[in-house]
């Protein structure tokens, strides 16, 4: 199954919504620290509700430690800076779909180490979507392509 990875997330409520999403689709969530909040933050717990206990969450103390565990996985970076649209890419079940920090995305090294960079196309004057929406759209497409959604 797919893994969703968050690079140094900033906003606990967004992370909590993604925890719930991953739990509902039996998807592992990987969090690359440092985060802009503590993982025991009450705002995270309030939005995640009881899904926090039902979720598969792996944390990494750094991006380097994350990469060590991803040697056999394609890392697909979702970024507004990509040229290729997410629906023109073939997702595979062992892919890790990586999302950047809400406030600043990811550094150049993360772009360079990614197998592919993809975007969700938006109208010209739109800047970006909420990260939880982006995860939902992308995960839905990956699951659909691989017949995990019925």
Count of other CB atoms within 10 angstroms of residue 150: 5
- The whole-number pLDDT of residue 145 equals 95
Instruction: Return the H-helix or E-strand segment holding 132.
Output: helix 131-145
Examine the pLDDT at 48 and tell me if it is beyond 80: no
Task: Say what percent of the chain tops pLDDT 70.
Answer: 93
- 138, with CB counted inside 10 A (0-12, 13-18, 19+), is buried
pLDDT at 150 exceeding the cut of 60: no
Instruction: Identify the pLDDT of residue 90.
Output: 97
CATH H-level superfamily of 3-145: SPOUT methyltransferase, trefoil knot domain (3.40.1280.10)
**Of residues 39 and 4, which shows the higher confidence score?**
4
pLDDT in tens, 60-100: 999 999 999 998 899 999 999 999 999 999 999 999 999 99
Angle (deg, nearest 10), helices 131-145 and 12-24: 20
Render pLDDT for 119-137 as a digit per residue (tens, 0 to 9).
Answer: 999 998 888 899 999 999 9
User: 34: cis peptide before it, omega within 30°?
Assistant: yes
Rounded to whole angstroms, the Cα distance separating 150 from 143 reads: 9
């Amino acid at each position: 199954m797919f893994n969703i990875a968050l690079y140094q997330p900033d906003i606990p409520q967004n992370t909590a919504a993604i925890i719930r999403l991953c739990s509902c689709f039996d998807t592992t969530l990987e969090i690359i620290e440092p985060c802009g909040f503590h993982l025991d933050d009450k705002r995270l717990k309030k939005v995640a509700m009881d899904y926090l206990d039902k979720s598969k969450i792996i944390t990494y103390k750094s991006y380097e430690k994350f990469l060590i565990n991803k040697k056999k996985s394609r890392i697909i970076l979702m970024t507004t800076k990509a040229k290729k649209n997410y629906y023109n890419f073939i997702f595979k079940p062992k892919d890790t779909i990586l999302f950047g920090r809400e406030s600043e995305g990811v550094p150049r090294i993360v772009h360079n180490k990614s197998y592919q960079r993809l975007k969700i196309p938006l109208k010209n004057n739109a800047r970006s979507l909420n990260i939880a929406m982006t995860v939902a759209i992308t995960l839905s497409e990956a699951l659909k392509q691989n017949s995990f959604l019925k």
